[in-house]
């Protein structure tokens, strides 16, 4: 019989936490959530790793870009029964993939920050598909993605204002979801809700861009 596995994941685009004041506030809030964390747009660099590790009780895994763009983090609670088997980190800070064992079960964690132009998104999702295939250790391994994909699936539910369209890259993303049995967990729990992750004030344009 398969062992019962119980843990909580949270995904958040933080739009830069280089500032000590903002990073401290974010980490205090995250600690209160009692979760393992996927953060996008951290603006991290190699030079800050030691100081940031000191501020979180548990393992941290980085993919860096610059202190003004990109960067993703996976933060694991110190209390989680966790073993890291292998890691793949993008040199441009767009994704990090962890092959892990949690409470005796094998997982692939991915934290992703996609580009926003359609052609670049298509290349990103094609590369992601290949990297996931390379990292999967067996067919029944569970896959969990925290992400900011810069796409909408349903213009009626996921947008307000402007002229929303479903991008060509969404088909590639849908294929990835089918291949690994992935679901948009927020939408499953909120099937008819309209809630937005990005907002432009003038003119008012709002989008829920499938951030995990």
Q: Examine residue 212 and state whether it is found in any structural domain, yes or no.
A: no
Q: Examine residue 73 and state whether it is found in any structural domain, yes or no.
A: yes
Q: What is the pTM of this model?
A: 0.91
3-state helix, strand and coil shares in percent for the chain, rounded to the nearest 5: 30, 30, 45
Residue 137 is part of which domain span?
A: 9-207
Q: Residue 17: which CATH number? A: 3.60.10.10
Please state whether beta strands 142-148 and 159-160 pair in parallel, antiparallel, or not at all (unpaired). unpaired
Q: Examine residue 137 and state whether it is found in any structural domain, yes or no.
A: yes
**98-136 residues labelled b (16+ CB within 10 A) or e (exposed):** bbbebeeebbbbbbbbbbeeeeebbebbeebbeebeebb
For the chain, 212 residues long, give each residue's pLDDT as a single digit of tens.
Answer: 455 678 889 999 999 999 999 999 999 999 999 999 999 999 999 999 999 999 999 999 999 999 999 999 999 999 999 999 999 999 999 999 999 999 889 999 999 999 989 999 999 999 999 999 999 988 889 999 998 888 888 888 999 998 888 889 999 999 999 999 999 888 899 999 998 888 888 899 898 876 54
Q: Examine residue 148 and state whether it is found in any structural domain, yes or no.
A: yes
Q: Examine residue 1 and state whether it is found in any structural domain, yes or no.
A: no
Number of domains in the chain: 1
Please state whether beta strands 9-13 and 142-148 pair in parallel, antiparallel, or not at all (unpaired). unpaired
Taken as a whole, the chain contains a residue count of 212
């Amino acid at each position: 019989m398969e062992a019962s596995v119980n843990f909580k994941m949270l995904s958040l685009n933080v739009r830069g936490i280089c500032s000590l004041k903002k990073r401290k506030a974010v980490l205090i809030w995250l600690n209160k959530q009692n979760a393992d964390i996927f953060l996008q747009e951290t603006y991290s660099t190699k030079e800050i790793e030691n100081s940031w590790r000191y501020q979180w009780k548990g393992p941290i895994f980085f993919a860096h870009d610059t202190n003004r763009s990109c960067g993703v983090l996976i933060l694991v609670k110190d209390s989680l029964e966790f073993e890291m088997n292998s890691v793949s980190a993008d040199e441009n800070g767009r994704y990090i993939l962890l092959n892990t064992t949690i409470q005796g079960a094998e997982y692939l964690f991915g934290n992703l920050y996609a580009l926003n132009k359609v052609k670049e998104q298509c290349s990103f999702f094609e590369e992601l598909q290949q990297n996931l295939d390379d990292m999967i250790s067996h067919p029944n391994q569970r896959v969990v993605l925290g992400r900011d994909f810069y796409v909408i699936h349903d213009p009626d539910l996921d947008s307000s204002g402007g002229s929303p369209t479903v991008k060509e890259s969404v088909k590639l993303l849908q294929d990835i979801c089918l291949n690994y049995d992935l679901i948009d967990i927020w939408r499953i729990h909120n099937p008819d809700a309209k809630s937005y992750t990005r907002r432009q004030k003038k003119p008012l344009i709002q989008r829920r861009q499938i951030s995990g």
